[in-house]
Amino acid sequence: MTLTRLRRRLEPAIRPMMHLYWRFARGATLGARGMVIDGSGRVFLVKHSYVDGWHMPGGGVETGETMLTALTRELAEEGNIKLTGQPQLFAVYFNGRVSRRDHVALFIVRDFLQESPPKPNREIVEHGFFALDALPPDTGRATRARLDEVFKGVAVSELW
């Protein structure tokens, strides 16, 4: 069994333990994700080693960190993407599928630089820019819903 498969199999067991830890370490959890859109209207997606599907890059906001700082860090780590302009806060969602205390802030990123593609690593195993009509088949449900909100004008949900 590959390390990636092992991580994906263990993730459902590890996630509740992490959220138990976060319950005591943090009153609530907050994530920042970026919908990175290139000049051709394609979106940047990543595939993690520990969860199935393709998702927008992003991650948790650490204690003492702003959402923008977290977004900047995550885009660099997961996509080798550097912000060259101010991203737009699109919406904040409640992520009850993860825990009763989790929220996700979604930013629209149009001004950025990616000097070279990121190298796959232990966390990000695949990545790429995709046209909306050519998304990978296993693109996550929440990712597809957010793309519909931004590009098709579907009503913005409060739920991730």
Summarize pLDDT for 36-70 with one digit per residue, the tens: 999 999 999 999 999 999 999 999 999 899 999 99
CA–CA dist 59, 76 (Å, integer): 11
| Residue 68, domain CATH | 3.90.79.10
Q: Name residues whose C-beta falls within 8 Å of residue 2's C-beta, 6 or more positions apart in sequence.
A: none
Q: Name residues whose C-beta falls within 8 Å of residue 30's C-beta, 6 or more positions apart in sequence.
A: 60, 61, 67, 102, 103, 104, 105
On whether residue 132 sits in a domain, the answer given is yes
On whether residue 160 sits in a domain, the answer given is no
**What's the structural domain count of the chain?**
1
On whether residue 108 sits in a domain, the answer given is yes
Question: What does the pLDDT average to over 90-119?
Answer: 93
Q: The tokens of 149 are what? A: 């909100």
Q: What is the per-residue pLDDT for 43?
A: 98
Determine the structural domain holding residue 29 and report its residue range: 3-152
On whether residue 159 sits in a domain, the answer given is no
> What integer best gives the mean pLDDT of the chain?
91
Q: What is the tens place of the pLDDT at every residue in 87-98?
A: 999 999 999 887
State residue 127 phi and psi, 5-degree precision. -160, 165
